[in-house]
Amino acid sequence: MPTEKYTTARKITPGQLVRSGRGVIMSCKVEGVVTLIMQDGSLLETYCFQGTSPLDDIGVVGVDGPSTTATVTVSVVD
């Protein structure tokens, strides 16, 4: 299954919203739950395993820090 090609990435700081893109890339150091804030304001909880994981075709605008248990960097990609 091929991964999309992206040209830009914007790192999300928990608690700050960004413009959504074509997907996100999660770089997880310690696995756990990541709570993503979707472009419609809803929350999506996903489990993050150690390593790098792309999520294509998803409109994410933020990360909810208090409910995220993983040590992870999330970047919106275009």
Q: Report d(CA 38, CA 3) in Å as an integer.
A: 21
Task: Decide if pLDDT at 12 tops 60.
Answer: yes
Task: Decide if pLDDT at 34 tops 80.
Answer: yes
At 1, is the pLDDT very low, low, confident or very high (cuts 50, 70, 90)? very low
* 7 Cβ contact partners less than 8 Å away, ≥ 6 residues apart: 78
Q: Where are the domains of the chain?
A: 11-77
Task: Decide if pLDDT at 3 tops 70.
Answer: no
DSSP H or E run through 18: none
At 5, is the pLDDT very low, low, confident or very high (cuts 50, 70, 90)? confident
Q: pLDDT (tens digit, 9 = 90+) per residue, 38-61?
A: 999 999 999 999 999 999 999 999
